[in-house]
């Protein structure tokens, strides 16, 4: 990398240098590094990861999410327009663990020189920590990929994002590190609040439609009694529904949870027949509020879900309500709707 990336150079001098054909930002761009005055082009997939990246990068990088909010990220096929976006990217942050294979394959075939794909989930846990379950059975080879509903794991995601940005854009390393540290402090605050709120829940047990809380549950000592959605993302059979109704009655839970992204008449039926409340507003990767608003963020999403679970199960969510939601860096990412 040229020294220009590390030094402040007046724009007039820089353009003169470029005119003279010196090694400047243009060449750094070709090498996949951010040169002076050029922002890294960063591509992400699902909205919670886009938000984590935006919290670390702020407006120092150009961030584009690919997976529209409120779509099924597990079966998402990138549109033709995504090909150009990934081929221009310097960095592509994906969850990995098999979640976005079609997007990853598209990117692998089009990476420009020096560009990298970073699989945050694969960096965060090893195979010995993978959770396989009803919706993500071991025989199909893909573990449950929802690490971001576990705050310490989301903090790890942010750390890998920060380390990558610092390595690739050394001129802004201090800013990335500071953004990460502020984000990590918010994650720790949410984590402590959730641990406190958990102690007020009489029976911290989850029956959900979409199986997004496996790593969350392991961290906080909650029990996942089931998920409705089968691995093909179709509805369960009548026998499976009957079994779940029996299980919900036997467990005596206060509420069962659906997802905004996957409206489920089956779960409503289970709630009716088991005589428990059906709460259908959990969000897996659809951020609350409008883009640009503080609550439209990973933090806003987790706080909303955690409050919803705790309150619906008869616990006290006040520790969570006391966590203020704010961006730790200006969030200028593009979130496709
Ligand atoms: Zn999911």
Contact 261, 72 (CB under 8 A): yes
The tens digit of pLDDT for each residue in 140-173 reads 999 999 999 999 999 999 999 999 999 999 999 9
Nearest to 298 by CA among 151, 103, 177: 151
What's the rounded mean pLDDT across residues 325-337?
91
Rounded Cα gap, residues 46 and 313, in angstroms: 28
Nearest to 168 by CA among 103, 93, 232, 110: 93
Write down all domains in the chain, each with its CATH number in brackets.
1-37 (no CATH), 198-321 (3.40.50.1980)
- Give, to the nearest 10 degrees, the angle between helix 298-312 and helix 151-168: 180
The tens digit of pLDDT for each residue in 252-287 reads 889 999 887 777 788 888 899 999 999 988 988 889
Question: Is the pLDDT confidence value at 326 over 60?
Answer: yes
What's the rounded mean pLDDT across residues 193-200?
98
* 113 CA from centroid of ligand 1 (Å): 32
* 260 CA from centroid of ligand 1 (Å): 12
* 5 CA from centroid of ligand 1 (Å): 39
Q: Note the pLDDT of residue 261.
A: 74
Indicate the pLDDT class of residue 176, thresholds 50, 70 and 90.
very high
Burial of 152 (0-12, 13-18, 19+ CB in 10 A): middle
* 2 CA from centroid of ligand 1 (Å): 42
Mean pLDDT over each residue of the chain, to the nearest integer: 88
Q: Which residues lie across from 117 on neighbouring strands?
A: 92
* 262 CA from centroid of ligand 1 (Å): 10
Using CA atoms of 301, 305, 308, 311 in order, give the dihedral in degrees to the nearest 10. -110
Contact 204, 252 (CB under 8 A): no
* 71 CA from centroid of ligand 1 (Å): 10
DSSP 291: T
């Amino acid at each position: 990398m040229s020294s220009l990336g590390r030094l402040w150079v007046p724009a007039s001098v820089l353009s003169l240098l470029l005119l003279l054909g010196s090694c400047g930002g243009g060449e750094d761009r070709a090498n996949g590094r951010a040169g002076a005055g050029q922002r890294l082009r960063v591509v992400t997939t699902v909205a919670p990861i886009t938000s984590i990246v935006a919290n670390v990068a702020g407006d120092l990088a150009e961030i584009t999410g690919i997976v529209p909010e409120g779509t099924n990220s597990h079966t998402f096929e990138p549109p033709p327009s995504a090909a150009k976006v990934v081929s221009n990217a310097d960095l592509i942050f994906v969850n990995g663990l098999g979640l976005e294979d079609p997007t990853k394959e598209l990117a692998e075939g089009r990476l420009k020189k020096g560009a990298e794909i970073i699989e945050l989930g694969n960096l965060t846990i090893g195979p010995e920590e993978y959770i396989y379950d009803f919706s993500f059975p071991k025989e199909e080879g893909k573990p449950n990929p929802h690490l971001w509903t576990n705050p310490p794991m989301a903090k790890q995601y942010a750390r890998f994002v920060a380390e990558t940005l610092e390595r690739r854009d050394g001129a802004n390393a201090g800013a990335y590190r500071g953004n990460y540290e502020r984000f990590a402090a918010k994650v720790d605050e949410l984590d402590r609040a959730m641990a406190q709120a958990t102690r007020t829940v009489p029976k911290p047990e989850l029956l959900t439609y979409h199986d997004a809380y496996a790593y969350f549950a392991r961290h906080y000592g909650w029990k996942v009694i089931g998920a409705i959605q089968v691995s093909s993302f179709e509805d369960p059979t009548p026998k499976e529904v009957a079994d779940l109704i029996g299980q919900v009655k036997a467990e005596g839970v206060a509420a069962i949870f659906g997802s905004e992204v996957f409206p489920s008449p089956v779960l409503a039926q289970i709630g009716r027949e088991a005589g428990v409340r059906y709460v259908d507003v959990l969000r897996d990767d659809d951020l609350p509020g409008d883009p640009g608003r503080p609550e439209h963020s990973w933090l806003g999403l987790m706080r909303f879900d955690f409050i919803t679970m705790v309150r619906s199960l008869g616990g006290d969510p006040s520790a969570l309500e006391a966590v203020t939601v704010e961006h730790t860096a200006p969030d200028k990412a593009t979130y496709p709707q």
